[in-house]
Structure 1
Amino acid sequence: MQFRPMDPTFPIDHQLGIEASPVVLINLFTLDKKDEAALIKAWTDDAQFMQRQPGYISTQLHRAIGDGCAYLNYAVWESNATFRAAFTHPEFQSKLSHYPSSSVAWPHLFQKIAVTGVCVA
């Protein structure tokens, strides 16, 4: 699997060093349509590993509407430290080779913000 930054000025490897709580991982996957089943299998295996890690809260996989082939993963973690520990864990890193070669991941970490009258942090 290839990794590409959602924000080229601040890729995921830079974000991992920032202390923040809680954090949301948004990860867009693009791939060849023929590889969809393999992506879901690899993602399921990854998600089951992440569910067993300290600080994991939840995750949800979404498929794009229409004929394109894109998936979006939304995962919530108690802190960037707990996400970093899981993401850099050797067992998780070894699982990345199970993704189809056409897969491209665009991961980025976010924090909720409050907007008066609209949403709370």
Structure 2
Amino acid sequence: MSHMQPLDENFPIERQLAVEAAPVVLINLFTLDAADEARFLDVWKDDAAFMKRQPGFISTQLHRAIGESPTYLNYAVWDSTEAFRAAFTHPEFRSKLGAYPSSAIARPHLFQKVGVAGICTA
């Protein structure tokens, strides 16, 4: 991918990879030109198939913004930061990033569930 930008400029994905946490959720927000959607989906599918084979991968789901917005959100669950880091920095995965359309901008960020009493569990 020719364009990767932090969702939080103060704590980009490269810094997050050093934090040991388990489990973790990757949220990756993609924006791109509408003309590039078919190619984007082909490349994302290939990347997702690679990730699915990696140790510590639990699940993923791709979402598309409603209407005419060519914006996508990927939600992926991993056993740990360690497992995600190994997959995300794997040479095979890194070599695939150049296949994304030049208009695609990715904004990856790692999260953990938060428990809020009476509303949701961690």
TM-score band, normalised by the shorter chain? over 0.9
User: Alignment partner of 2:8: what SS?
Assistant: coil
Q: Within 1, Cα distance between the matches of 2:44 and 2:18?
A: 24
Q: Which residue of 2 aligns with 1:14?
A: 15
Shift of 1:31: 0.3
TM-score, structure 1 normalization: 0.99
User: Alignment partner of 2:60: what SS?
Assistant: strand
Shift of 1:104: 0.1
* Structure 2 residues without counterparts, runs of 5 or longer: none
Q: Which residue of 1 aligns with 2:61?
A: 60
Shift of 1:66: 1.1
1:44 aligns with 2:12: no
**Letter in structure 2 aligned against 1:103:** A
Shift of 1:18: 0.4
Q: Within 2, Cα distance between the matches of 1:68 and 1:117?
A: 35
Shift of 1:68: 1.2
1:5 aligns with 2:10: no
Shift of 1:67: 1.0
Shift of 1:9: 0.5
* Structure 1 residues without counterparts, runs of 5 or longer: none
Tell me the matched-pair count. 121
Identity %: 66
TM-score, structure 2 normalization: 0.98
Q: Within 1, Cα distance between the matches of 2:87 and 2:6?
A: 19
**Letter in structure 2 aligned against 1:44:** K
Q: Within 1, Cα distance between the matches of 2:50 and 2:81?
A: 17
Q: Which residue of 2 aligns with 1:28?
A: 29
